[in-house]
Amino acid sequence: MSQEVVCVDFWANGFGMRVRIALREKGVQFEIKEEDLQVKERSKLVLEMNPVYRSIPILIHHGKPVIGSINIVEYIDEAWKEGPALLPADPLDRAKARFWSDYIDKMLFSVQTKFLKSKGDEKEESKAELIANLKQLEQVLDDKKYFGGDQFNFLDIMLITFSSMFSGYEQHGNFLIGVECPKLMAWVKRCRERESVASTLPDDREMYELHKIWYGIE
């Protein structure tokens, strides 16, 4: 591999987008190795670098792999001290950021999957749960500019990649996130004005169209 830092990822992988945003926030030059998640077979590189889970994203630094999006972003923050800090300096604030990151992955992502795949009453129930999850996160944001206060940081990175599916949520469920969670949508707008985010997040329509294929949505 020609570069010191390589990100193995798929363009529509929200978890991998976190890694690319974090690297760009830190000003780290990196190479992207595209792994097509639309095919079942994983590449030789993925099998070699992540033989346990065979999943992406994978950060390869000096030829050594780092696995798991949350773990990778923490690694980036520790490995490149010269850039802006991503995790809060205060231990309690760091613990809170990790807690809500876990909430996003365990609650929001699982509800998103259920919402997109379900039908009838189950879909309405999952839509209500999805909105409740977003409102919970909006309460955490409160009136702050970013989840990290005045500074865009770790928890912002964890959640902003999900915003590439917000338009899809609205189309799929016939509701407006801006009505349900106005502060959260204002935060999305601020985040998307950042170069690191704007250059990473894909087109919302393309994201939803791909998810429609993945989840068999007509």
Identify whether residues 65 and 140 lie together within a single domain. Answer: no
3-state secondary structure at position 216: coil
Same domain, 75 and 149: no
Same domain, 208 and 116: yes
Based on the fold, state whether residues 131 and 193 are members of the same structural domain: yes
> Residue 217 contacts by C-beta under 8 Å, 6 or more apart in sequence?
116, 172, 211
> In terms of Cα–Cα distance, which of 207, 62, 88 is closest to 158?
88
Q: Would you put residue 142 in left (φ > 0), alpha (ψ -120 to 50) or beta?
A: left
84 found inside a domain: no
Q: Do 74 and 141 share a structural domain? A: no
**Distance of alpha carbon 91 from alpha carbon 195, whole angstroms:** 28
- Residue by residue, pLDDT tens for the chain (218 residues) are 346 999 999 999 999 999 999 999 999 999 999 999 999 899 999 999 999 999 999 999 999 999 999 999 999 999 999 889 999 999 999 999 999 999 999 999 999 999 999 999 999 999 999 999 999 999 999 999 999 999 999 999 999 999 999 999 999 999 999 999 999 999 999 999 999 999 999 999 999 999 999 998 87
Q: How many domains does the chain have?
A: 2
- Residues 97, 134 within the same domain: yes
**Inside any domain, residue 85:** no
Is the four-CA dihedral 27, 32, 36, 40 of positive or negative sign? Answer: negative
**Rounded distance between C-alpha atoms, residue 127 and residue 178, angstroms:** 15
Pair of tokens at residue 80: 């490149």
